[in-house]
Structure 1
Amino acid sequence: MADQGPMLQPSEICNAVFSACEDKAELPFAKMLVLGILAGLYIGFGGLFATVALAGADAVPFGLSQVVAGVVFSLGLALVILAGAELFTGNTLMIGPVAAGRLPAGRAARALAIVYLSNFVGAALLAVIALLSGLHEAGDGAVGRAAVNLADTKTSKSFWTVLASGVLANMLVCLGVWLAYAGQSVTQKVIGLMLPIAAFVAAGFEHSIANMYLLTYAFLVQSTVETAPTLLAASAIGANLLPATIGNILGGALIALSYQAVYGQPKRG
Structure 2
Amino acid sequence: MDDQRTDRPNPHVPDAGPQAGTRLSAVEIHDNILGPGEEELRRPAGALFWSALASGLVIGFSFLAGGFVASLAPAELRHAAAAAVYPLGFILVIMARSELFTENTLVPVIPLLNRRDRETFRQLVRVWATLLIGNLLGALAYSMVLARTPMVSADLHPPLLEIATRATEGGFWIVAYQAVFAGWLIALLSWLLAATRATGAQLVLIWLTTAPIAAFTFRHSIAGAVEAFYRAAVGAAPWGAMLGEFVLPAVLGNAVGGVLLVALLNYSQVAAERAKRAPV
Residue aligning to 1:122 = 138
- Does the CA-based 8 Å contact 2:161-2:231 persist in structure 1? yes
Q: TM-score, normalised by structure 1?
A: 0.84
SS in 2 for 1:121: helix
Shift of 1:60: 4.4
Shift of 1:56: 5.0
- Does the CA-based 8 Å contact 1:173-1:196 persist in structure 2? yes
SS in 1 for 2:153: helix
Residue aligning to 2:115 = 101
Looking at structure 2, the residues matched to 203 and 110 of structure 1 have their Cα atoms a distance apart, in angstroms, of 32
Residue aligning to 2:270 = 263
SS in 2 for 1:182: coil
- Does the CA-based 8 Å contact 1:22-1:102 persist in structure 2? no
In structure 2, do the counterparts of structure 1 residues 129 and 8 end up closer, same or farther at CA, with 3 Å as the change threshold?
Answer: farther
Looking at structure 2, the residues matched to 12 and 43 of structure 1 have their Cα atoms a distance apart, in angstroms, of 30
Letter of the 2:146 partner, please give it.
Answer: A
More helix by share: 1
In structure 2, do the counterparts of structure 1 residues 20 and 50 end up closer, same or farther at CA, with 3 Å as the change threshold?
Answer: farther
Residue aligning to 1:49 = 65
In structure 2, do the counterparts of structure 1 residues 260 and 78 end up closer, same or farther at CA, with 3 Å as the change threshold?
Answer: same
Residue aligning to 1:246 = 252
Residue aligning to 1:235 = 240
**CA offsets 1:181-228 (integer angstroms, 9 cap, x no match):** 222121111112211101111111111101221111232235xxxxxx
In structure 2, do the counterparts of structure 1 residues 213 and 15 end up closer, same or farther at CA, with 3 Å as the change threshold?
Answer: same
Letter of the 2:76 partner, please give it.
Answer: P
- Does the CA-based 8 Å contact 1:169-1:206 persist in structure 2? yes
- Do structure 1's residue 177 and structure 2's residue 177 form an aligned pair? no
**CA offsets 1:226-256 (integer angstroms, 9 cap, x no match):** xxxxx31101211211111110000001211
Letter of the 1:119 partner, please give it.
Answer: N
Looking at structure 2, the residues matched to 202 and 22 of structure 1 have their Cα atoms a distance apart, in angstroms, of 34
Shift of 1:83: 0.9
SS in 1 for 2:59: helix
In structure 2, do the counterparts of structure 1 residues 233 and 164 end up closer, same or farther at CA, with 3 Å as the change threshold?
Answer: same
In structure 2, do the counterparts of structure 1 residues 2 and 136 end up closer, same or farther at CA, with 3 Å as the change threshold?
Answer: closer
- Does the CA-based 8 Å contact 2:59-2:223 persist in structure 1? yes
Percent identity, aligned pairs only, is 28
* 2:46 equivalent among 30, 33, 36: 30
In structure 2, do the counterparts of structure 1 residues 159 and 132 end up closer, same or farther at CA, with 3 Å as the change threshold?
Answer: closer
After superposition, the CA RMSD in angstroms is 2.5
Residue aligning to 1:61 = 76
Letter of the 1:41 partner, please give it.
Answer: L
Letter of the 1:255 partner, please give it.
Answer: V
Looking at structure 1, the residues matched to 134 and 79 of structure 2 have their Cα atoms a distance apart, in angstroms, of 28
- Gaps of at least 5 residues in structure 1 are 223-230
- Does the CA-based 8 Å contact 2:148-2:233 persist in structure 1? no
Residue aligning to 1:12 = 28
Letter of the 1:72 partner, please give it.
Answer: V
In structure 2, do the counterparts of structure 1 residues 158 and 130 end up closer, same or farther at CA, with 3 Å as the change threshold?
Answer: closer
**CA offsets 1:134-187 (integer angstroms, 9 cap, x no match):** 24535xx2x211222233334430221111100001111112222222221211
Looking at structure 1, the residues matched to 218 and 184 of structure 2 have their Cα atoms a distance apart, in angstroms, of 10
- Gaps of at least 5 residues in structure 2 are 4-16, 276-280
Residue aligning to 2:159 = 146
Looking at structure 2, the residues matched to 90 and 178 of structure 1 have their Cα atoms a distance apart, in angstroms, of 9
Looking at structure 2, the residues matched to 19 and 191 of structure 1 have their Cα atoms a distance apart, in angstroms, of 24
